[in-house]
Amino acid sequence: MKKVGFTTTIPVDIIFAAEKVPIDLNNIFITSRSPYRYIEKAEEDGLPRNTCSWIKGIYTAVLENDIDTVIGVIEGDCSNTHALMEIFRSKSKNVIPFAYPYGEKDKVNFLKNQINNLMIELNVEWNDVKNTIDRIDKIREKLIRLDEYTIEGFVSGFENHLWLVTSTDFNSDYVSYEKELDKFLDEIKNRRSLNKKVRLGFIGVPTIFTDIYQFIEERDCQVVFNEVQRQFSIPYIEFDYVERFARYTYPYDIKFRLEDIKKQIKKREIDGIIHYVQSFCYRQIQDVVIKKELDIPVITIEGNDPEGIDARTKIRLESFIEMLQGKKG
């Protein structure tokens, strides 16, 4: 089957229904044996050094993994995607644009048109897509349950991150993904709740650091909220399919995201927030609004390359954690 890569979360059910293989290009990059090699290859081919590492990773992932078609999210994610799609076209790749509405009063109709166009491009009918949605919704229900187990302390922040972030493409095979998920859910039934002193939330794009969850959770903390990863899993299965992507917060303005973040802080009894920002990303600027709007402590950390956290970031995180522990007595 032909491989269809995409640059960030899209209605993946459509790709499965079209009997093609969906591939989240971010996941291919970050889980490769040598993510640095992906970055170096992109720079050798001329991509600027001061470009986000995710963009460079996506570039190499397409060229080295036999990707036939690329769905580029040209509105609601990274502005560099526009130029990246132009490069792929110049290399004779089939490029399909997809956009989330910005400032649109009628999100649902805008998204309905985008989803219909995607079905036309992939040559699939709605009845086939509907059958696939019904099947995959059973997996999304289990992911919602997994997230609830995280709140209760039975699933670590890293495990939560890993399962939710891979739900963007279900590791290209939702049947195998569900079998592994079932095994995991069975396993955690025998666990005891972590019940650590400090409850933390991660907001912002998924971190590129390789060891940050382990570092945090070794210090009597548990990460009970991964904002964007949870959004990637599209946890809105009670709504109409198009409406789900109108409720999906990641592509939209910070005010819309903050409404969800505030609800989750209350629901999960979060003591502090770690706001991760990627170097050279416009979303860094949103940190000003986030710190103004949230009424619990927030620390902002920045990363660029797929490596362990640096000494300075470790010191800052330790100080933040100690402050939160002190507040809790």
Domain range 138-327, CATH architecture: 3-Layer(aba) Sandwich (3.40)
Tell the residue number behind the tokens 């802080």, with chain if given.
265
Alpha-carbon distance 298 to 287, whole Å?
10
DSSP 1-42: --EEEESS---HHHHHHTT-EEEEHHHHHHTSS-HHHHHHHH
In the chain, which segments carry CATH 3.40.50.11890?
3-124
Residue 321: enclosing H or E segment and its boundaries? helix 311-327
DSSP 211: S
- Spell out, as residue ranges, where the chain has pLDDT lower than 70: 280-282, 284
Check residue 282 and give its pLDDT: 63
Distance CA 119, CA 18 (A): 8
Whole-number pLDDT of residue 112: 96
Provide the pLDDT for residue 51: 86
Asked whether the beta carbons of 67 and 96 are under 8 A apart, the reply is no
**CA 156, CA 261: separation in Å to the nearest integer?**
19
- Give CA–CA dist 54/150, Å, rounded: 27
* Residues 201, 298: Cα–Cα separation, whole Å: 10
Tens digits of residue pLDDT in 130-184 = 999 999 999 999 999 999 999 999 999 999 999 999 999 999 999 999 999 999 9
**Domain 3-124 belongs to what topology?**
Rossmann fold (3.40.50)
Residue 33 exposed, middle or buried by CB count within 10 Å (0-12, 13-18, 19+): exposed
Scan for tokens 């526009």, then name that residue.
82
Q: Where in the chain is the domain with CATH 3.40.50.11900?
A: 138-327
| Cβ proximity of 169 and 214 under 8 Å | no
Which residues neighbour 100 within 8 Å (Cβ) at sequence distance 6 or greater? 73, 75, 76, 77, 111, 114, 245, 251, 252
Alpha carbons within 13 A on the beta-carbon side of 175: 3
Q: What is the DSSP string of 90-152?
A: HTT-EEEEEE--SS-S-HHHHHHHHHHHHHHHTT--HHHHHHHHHHHHHHHHHHHHHHHHHHH
